[in-house]
Amino acid sequence: MEWKVDREADKPLYQQIFEYIEEKISYGEYPPGSLLPSERKLAQQLNVNRMTIAHVYDELQASGLVERKKGSGTRVSSHKWGILPKGVTNWRKYIEGGSFIPSYPLIRRIRGEAKVMEGGYNLASGKLSSDLFPTDYLQSILSEYTFPTDLGYEHPQGLLSLRETIASYVKTYHNIHTTSSSVLITSGAQQALHLITQCLLNPGDAVAIEAPSYFYSLPLFQSAGLRIFGLPVDSEGMNPDDIMTLYKKHKIRMIFLNPTYHSPTGAILSSTRRLQVLEIAAELGIPIVEDDPVSLLSFDNEQHSPIKSFDRNGNVLYVGSLSKVIGSSLRIGWLIGPQSVINRLADAREQIDFGLSVFPQIIANLLLQSSEYPKHLEFLRQELLERRNEMLSALQDLLGDKIEFTIPKGGFFIWCKLNKSVDDQKLVEAGIKHKILFMPGSVYGSPNGYVRLTFAHLKKESIRDAVSQFAEVLNQV
Amino acid sequence: MEWKVDREADKPLYQQIFEYIEEKISYGEYPPGSLLPSERKLAQQLNVNRMTIAHVYDELQASGLVERKKGSGTRVSSHKWGILPKGVTNWRKYIEGGSFIPSYPLIRRIRGEAKVMEGGYNLASGKLSSDLFPTDYLQSILSEYTFPTDLGYEHPQGLLSLRETIASYVKTYHNIHTTSSSVLITSGAQQALHLITQCLLNPGDAVAIEAPSYFYSLPLFQSAGLRIFGLPVDSEGMNPDDIMTLYKKHKIRMIFLNPTYHSPTGAILSSTRRLQVLEIAAELGIPIVEDDPVSLLSFDNEQHSPIKSFDRNGNVLYVGSLSKVIGSSLRIGWLIGPQSVINRLADAREQIDFGLSVFPQIIANLLLQSSEYPKHLEFLRQELLERRNEMLSALQDLLGDKIEFTIPKGGFFIWCKLNKSVDDQKLVEAGIKHKILFMPGSVYGSPNGYVRLTFAHLKKESIRDAVSQFAEVLNQV
Ligand SMILES: Cc1ncc(COP(=O)(O)O)c(C=O)c1O
Ligand SMILES: Cc1ncc(COP(=O)(O)O)c(C=O)c1O
């Protein structure tokens, strides 16, 4: 809710809010019978006293626009404007349906809070802080760029010039060989994963993911009706032998991995294991989906070649993204795989959104082709390294005896094990009270008592303060 | 396939093609066991003689890279690189799975042809020709625009400033009252429809659509497991009484309508019927999805108020788009509806693609806010009117006695009834031979013998020639 009260206006606050709600009711945004936000929630959203909202709701009731029942909240009257109560859709029945499963409540709670929180610190977001987006460099590139008069060329796989750039990008940076015709440009890694689960797997199919895992936090596996089984992650990543075990037990049909600077743990799958995974999967004839959004963000100059770079038989679907190296607001990712798979997914994508906008594709292409790009990457690595170090030292100083962690060699996150047992839900709520957001481990399928902290989303100057807030939260629960 | 042979090179064509295929095999783009394109198809795609491809395939076979069996085509060898035949994913099993249904073969055929056809005329596409995209005006706006350093602000419903612009746009142009918090920005109307079918309806649910209908051409209803029932369209659009009949028979749960310059027929739902539809739907408590992409493109200065403009109870989900008024390559559309529905769909969208890129949203906002926009709209109407008139006169002159049509008062299409009975499939193939593409009526669920011709996708100068080609095709079948 972005509407705000105008504190300078002559009109009293309650009057402004009354008119705002009345308007939304009259426009059908709150249909007859629908529930208004609770007093507490609306007060928080609009940043006003709860008494003000109580006053507004009283007035709305007095004017007949809403009905209030103890315990069931405030509802828009069904009789307003003289319309029969029947003349209304029962939207709740629709909203609760659908094969698409909503986000997990705890994640929704954290994201919802991130949207409205004023002040405070967000250590939960997986996004690069927006000051790291190369805006100046984009501006200068665009100022010299002339849009082609024919923007109309659209291909279901995405802009040809960008696909060619990506083919050469993955060769340079990841030693992956491919041609533009086997690249599908997607709206980030997220859309690639969505397409794979919707188009290549059937409801009831079993798939393996790392445990804990970023994938676990995505309801898209459940939305596709898949059964997920975990591959426990140690300091060298998952154990390839576990694939065989899961295959025998559950006949898994696909393996989803995030081998480099794994989210949430930061683990790097060792190169021996990469080859083993590839071999075992090939032997079983089941494909690997390799999610590789951050492997370029190394803090020790080591590059870890993706599993895909060893794949000669098209057993790996490789998923890349610019979200963590340029910015998530671009929404540019890619999927590389066998021609037939790419064709199938490109066709489905047409039905989902009719393809990607040409503009972020042009922009991504300009950014990647520019000679500034390697400098930008280097800058980013340096900046993230400093932020990581700042967070490490703050954690050490402020929480040294209360948590354990390993030092991530790249990426965005520090994975912390808490030395006392806490309930994740309570911990998150305590954080919200202190205006400090973080991701509890349970979101990734780990037991209670783990936390993922992002160092990429806050400026260096804020990190120590954020960690000290977090320490306070931890002390209190 | 965008790779092309180099006719200037010293290297013989067959050698170039050999190396190209060999490369794709070695990269896993054509995995072991997978099928290569047929000789005929590859020859056509690369625009070379079929004998050349036969030569390439012979050489590939001689080198052991492929195996050829009569009747089952050319397959990549399973034994290449000394790998066991087992070490390979059977991708066909995956590709044929998935809950997402592929596009209809006839539509795939036409779209596929549109991609590779050189020369010829496309009367099938529903897209504005790219010369009508306001590139100059975009360039000049962008040259004065400074990107905010903080691009990071993202909201699951889309950029706030664009949502505010859309709220005022629909008020100005369509007399629809809403606030920015009830607007969801989507990747065109297509994504709005996808979200609705996936999130608000359950497999097995019955829904009503117009017959014929653009909706019929979209497998997304089937992908969501819905049963669709038709509302026959006459010159005043669908008949509201039919809703009641369908409701009694099939308990339909949602009604999808395209009331203004209906695709494919061009019909305009009369204003009496708009009110009746709203009333009946409200009485039954079932929502209407109103798809309204072209209503601003009127040729007679009449504006037809959307059903949504009469809706006070939030019974209508209104879907708009910039695809037909600016360009489909922008991929900007919107959905307006009750708050609770918008929240549900925004959450699901995060899981599908993590939201829209900020760049097309910024661009759309700049274009809509500029004082040039009303002039652009006026220019577009004029241009389309001229193209329509050109097509009407060509049809009259060249096919006057062979087809029937009514004159569309707006939009993109002329809907033609052929006076002889033809098989749609054969007609399309004959068109492809003559390099002329059009949409046969069966794609929209009408009987054989209808054709939808687009006048928005070709420049005026080409229209008469395109129609004369079409006339020739018609004479031959
Ligand atoms: C492991 C992992 N994969 C994929 C994604 C999704 O990224 P994108 O923005 O490219 O959809 C993220 C981002 O949070 C991530 O952490
Ligand atoms: C009736 C109708 N609805 C929706 C669409 C989809 O448009 P968009 O490009 O906004 O997804 C089209 C475009 O062909 C159309 O003709």
Residues B426-456 have pLDDT tens digits of: 999 999 999 999 999 999 999 999 999 999 9
| CA closest to B80 among chain A residues | A313
Domain B108-132+375-476 grouped into CATH 3.30.565.10? no
Q: Are B32 and A341 in contact (CB under 8 A)?
A: no
Phi-psi region of A57 (alpha: psi -120 to 50; beta: other; left: phi over 0): alpha
Q: Does position B138 have pLDDT exceeding 80, yes or no?
A: yes
Mean pLDDT of B337-350: 95
Kindly state the tokens that stand for A14: 């309650």
Strands B288-291, B183-186: pairing kind? unpaired
Let me know the angle formed at the C-alpha of A237 by A235 and A242, rounded to the nearest 5 degrees: 120
CA-nearest residue, atom 14 of ligand 2 = B126
Tell me the whole-structure pTM to 2 decimals.
Answer: 0.94
Residues of chain A contacting residue B352, judged by C-beta atoms under 8 Å apart: 190-191, 194, 220, 352
Phi-psi region of A47 (alpha: psi -120 to 50; beta: other; left: phi over 0): left
Helices (H), A47-134: 50-62, 91-95, 105-116
Strands B403-404, B413-418: pairing kind? antiparallel
**What is the per-residue pLDDT across A200-222, written as a single tens digit (0 to 9) for each?**
999 999 999 999 999 999 999 99
| CA closest to A96 among chain B residues | B200
Length of chain B: 477
Let me know the angle formed at the C-alpha of A119 by A117 and A123, rounded to the nearest 5 degrees: 75
Q: Does position B147 have pLDDT exceeding 70, yes or no?
A: yes
Backbone angles phi, psi at B450, to 5 degrees: -125, 155
CA-nearest residue, atom 1 of ligand 2 = B263
Q: How far apart are CA B462 and CA A164, in angstroms?
A: 33
Mean pLDDT of A242-269: 98
CA A199 to mean position of chain CA atoms: 21
Q: What is the pLDDT of residue B84?
A: 44
Helices (H), A419-458: 424-433
CA-nearest residue, atom 14 of ligand 1 = A126
Q: Look-up: residue for tokens 């699901």?
A: B348
Q: Look-up: residue for tokens 């986000």?
A: A103
Residue pairs spanning A and B at CB distance below 8 A: 385
Q: Are A346 and A125 in contact (CB under 8 A)?
A: no
Q: Does position A432 have pLDDT exceeding 80, yes or no?
A: yes
Question: From the CB of residue B11, how many other CB atoms can be counted at a distance below 10 Å?
Answer: 11
**What is the per-residue pLDDT across B359-416, written as a single tens digit (0 to 9) for each?**
999 999 999 999 999 999 999 999 999 999 999 999 999 999 999 999 999 999 999 9
Per-window interface: A 63-122 vs B, CB < 8 A: 81, 83-84, 86-92, 94-95, 97-100, 102-103, 108, 111, 115
Q: Which H/E stretch holds residue A32? A: none
Residue with the bigger pLDDT between A80 and A192: it is A192
Where do the domains of chain B lie? 13-97, 108-132+375-476, 152-370
Q: Look-up: residue for tokens 């991504």?
A: A364
Mean pLDDT rounded to a whole number for chain A? 93
For residue A258, give how far its alpha carbon lies from the nearest alpha carbon of chain B (Å). 18
Per-window interface: A 231-250 vs B, CB < 8 A: none
**What is the per-residue pLDDT across B369-381, written as a single tens digit (0 to 9) for each?**
999 999 999 999 9
Which CATH architecture fits B152-370?
A: 3-Layer(aba) Sandwich (3.40)
**What is the per-residue pLDDT across A350-367, written as a single tens digit (0 to 9) for each?**
989 999 999 999 999 999
For residue B409, give how far its alpha carbon lies from the nearest alpha carbon of chain A (Å). 26
Q: Does position A294 have pLDDT exceeding 80, yes or no?
A: yes
Q: What is the pLDDT of residue B153?
A: 59
Confidence class of residue B82 from pLDDT cuts 50, 70 and 90?
very low
Q: Which of A220, A295, A324 to mutate to test the pocket of ligand 1 (most atoms within 8 A of CB)?
A: A324
User: Given CA atoms B226, B232, B238, B241 in this order, what sign does their dihedral have?
Assistant: negative
Residues of chain A contacting residue B139, judged by C-beta atoms under 8 Å apart: 146-147
Q: A71-75, A312-316, B190-194, B420-424: which has the minimum mean pLDDT?
A: A71-75
Topology of domain B13-97 in CATH is Arc Repressor Mutant, subunit A (1.10.10)
Q: How far apart are CA B320 and CA B169, in angstroms?
A: 11
**What is the per-residue pLDDT across A368-378, written as a single tens digit (0 to 9) for each?**
999 999 999 99
Strands B183-186, B333-336: pairing kind? antiparallel
Report the complex ipTM.
0.94
Is B295's C-beta closer than 6 angstroms to any atom of ligand 2? Answer: no
Residues of chain A contacting residue B90, judged by C-beta atoms under 8 Å apart: 285
From the alpha carbon of A192, which atom of ligand 1 is closest?
11
Mean pLDDT rounded to a whole number for chain B? 93
Confidence class of residue B80 from pLDDT cuts 50, 70 and 90?
low
Tell me the one-letter amino acid at A220: L
Mean pLDDT of B167-190: 97
3-state secondary structure at position A54:
helix
| CA closest to A336 among chain B residues | B29
For residue B444, the ligand closest to its alpha carbon is 2
State the distance from the centre of ligand 1 to the C-alpha of A7, rounded, in angstroms: 40
Q: Does position A315 have pLDDT exceeding 90, yes or no?
A: yes
Question: Nearest by CB to B315, which of A89, A147, A355?
Answer: A89
Q: Are B117 and B437 in contact (CB under 8 A)?
A: yes
Kindly state the tokens that stand for B131: 């010369």
